[in-house]
Amino acid sequence: MMRLPTGRLLLSSRETNIIKETRAREDEIFAVAARLFRERGYHATSMSEIARAVGLQKASLYHYVSGKEDFLFQTSQKGILALNQAVDEIVHTALPADEKLKRAIAAHVQILCQNMDWLAVFLRERRALPAKQQTEILAEGKRYEKMIQQILQEGVEAGLFRPVDVVMTSYALLGATNWLHQWFRLDGRLSPEEIAEIFIDLFFVGLLAEEGSNKTRRNI
């Protein structure tokens, strides 16, 4: 390790590789924990089972987390933060609201299908967290809901969507898309892209203002 004139540290290639390997191992351990929490439930999964699944002694897990609750908090957090990041980028584009909503639905479905374990843990197991961590995780969930509601409100104000109750509509949309974690299979009949198109079609039929409905349906 060398220190540059600017004060920054320059890592050797060996040190860089060690850091990469450590992070990859950490990602692997958290992915296994998320899978076990999804398959068995948080309360039914022990630290010993996680350790066996990743080929470590139980004591070695505490190098990565402070305990099982820490696994639950970080796996829950990874799922909702992935959604928030994707939709935040869409919200801040200059696209019209109908296009934003199409992209948000597609991103939601794609991210959920690609990160099923993380998001299933967020949706099903987060209530097992201590109150303080639950509050933090739920705040991220509320932020996501608000972004979807913002897109819907923009669409209503622009005359692209009917004057719907944006809160209730967001709950219906998220309820339908989040339920994917109960039935989606990678080897199933429909791909994530095909599922997203179906959701877009269903919700846009009910949302679109009359003058734009026929045109948009042809473009879906």
pLDDT tens digits, 11-40: 566 656 656 666 788 889 999 999 999 999
Rounded Cα–Cα distance for residues 103 and 123 (Å): 22
Residue 10 is given by DSSP the state E
pLDDT of 4 reads 47
pLDDT for position 7? 52
Q: Looking at residue 56, what is its pLDDT?
A: 92
Cα–Cα distance measured from residue 69 to residue 54, given in angstroms and rounded to the nearest whole number: 18
Low-confidence ranges of the chain (pLDDT < 70): 1-22, 210-220
CB atoms within 10 A of CB 83: 26
Q: Does 127 reside within a domain?
A: yes
Q: Is residue 114 part of a domain?
A: yes
Q: Which helix (H) or strand (E) holds 86?
A: helix 68-91
| CATH code, 215 | 1.10.357.10
- Give the model's pLDDT for residue 185: 86
Tokens at 134, concatenated: 């639950």
Of residues 23, 36, 37, the one with CA closest to residue 122: 37
Give domain status of residue 203, yes or no.
Answer: yes
Range of the domain at 190: 67-219
How far is Cα 40 from Cα 43, in angstroms, rounded to an integer? Answer: 8
- The DSSP symbol for 201 reads H
Does residue 43 belong to any structural domain of this protein? Answer: no
Owner of token pair 């060398």: 2
In this prediction the pTM is: 0.81
* Alpha helix (H) residue ranges in 97-157: 97-114, 116-125, 131-157
Q: Is 199 within the bounds of a domain?
A: yes
**167's tokens:** 């809160």
- The residues, any chain, with a CB within 8 Å of residue 36's CB and separated by 6 or more, are 45, 49, 50, 53
Q: State residue 25's pLDDT score.
A: 82
- Domain annotation covers residue 157: yes
175: its two tokens: 């309820």
Count of domains observed in the chain: 1
β-pairing, 9-10 vs 2-3, is antiparallel
Q: Could you tell me if residue 35 is inside a domain? A: no
Does residue 29 lie within any of the structural domains? no
Res 10: pLDDT? 56
SS (H, E, C) 150-200: HHHHHHHHCCCECCCCHHHHHHHHHHHHHCHHHHCCCCCCCCHHHHHHHHH
Of 75, 70, 89, the residue nearest 119 (C-alpha): 75
